[in-house]
Structure 1
């Protein structure tokens, strides 16, 4: 009979300890571990620009912003952007998907400028533009 009592106590203890276990909660690990950079498109191209293609009345000292469909490999930008007719020296930089350019001095009044991105500009995922890509704007 003592053996039966020990068995009952063991069973009772086993079931009572199960109710003391914390209820499993959904893990936040899947939410907290996100990729820092994602490929937003299967192609690499200009998504938008400011000034926009064909825009008129652009200020003589614009900040030119080009947003790409993917993050840009900064090492491929410097020698692969041109401006025609010849712009004052363009300076700027790249931040993720955005290329920002500023002319070193004022542009010429009433002139249509074409910004060309060379086909060799590359995304961080290894895709290139594939063809030279341009957009134009006209100053005040």
Structure 2
């Protein structure tokens, strides 16, 4: 014999003199502990900040060849459109470099001067905060590095 309660979704079964109660409604919410496990992906793109990781030539390097191209490696992929106008070069007054072409390949920006660097001269590059990663995050501060040619 079945009896249905109108106030809840409980059913009662009567077998002989034993009464069974069967709950048919949604289960009572039980607390669950959910855990998150973060595994490194091998990529620095998960970093919260967008920054310069390395340069080649390295900061303050000496005896750099005069025909070198400059590479700058960032912590995240670079938005190519943000590079133009956001890198400055300070050079000796006698130098002939009038332009730098820039290309990006994911995290790497390569700078190619229109001519060779002068021998035994110091060059300084400043990367401005207008450089952004592909998500729109800008450098948190300007980055300056320089080198001296051989």
Give the TM-score, by structure 2 length. 0.65
1:124 counterpart = 2:115: no
Bigger mean CA deviation after superposition, 37-46 or 113-122: 37-46
Are the counterparts in 2 of residues 120 and 128 from structure 1 also a CA contact under 8 Å?
Answer: yes
Flag structure 1 segments of 5+ consecutive residues without an equivalent.
1-36
> Mapping of 1:14-25 within 5 angstroms?
none
Q: Distance in 2 between matches of 1:130 and 1:51?
A: 22
Moved over 4 A (4+): none
More strand per residue: 1 or 2? 2
1:47 corresponds in structure 2 to 53
Are the counterparts in 2 of residues 120 and 130 from structure 1 also a CA contact under 8 Å?
Answer: no
Match of 2:146 among 115, 136, 139: 136
Aligned residues: 104
Flag structure 2 segments of 5+ consecutive residues without an equivalent.
1-42
More helix per residue: 1 or 2? 1
Bigger mean CA deviation after superposition, 99-108 or 37-46: 37-46
2:88 corresponds in structure 1 to 82
After superposition, the C-alpha distances for 1:7-40 in whole angstroms (9 at most, x for unaligned) are: xxxxxxxxxxxxxxxxxxxxxxxxxxxxxx9833
Q: Over the residues paired in the alignment, what is the CA RMSD in angstroms?
A: 1.7
Aligned residue for 1:66, secondary structure, equals: strand
Structure showing greater Rg: 2
Aligned residue for 1:75, secondary structure, equals: helix
**Structure 1 residues 85 and 97 mapped into 2: Cα distance closer, same or farther (>3 Å)?**
same
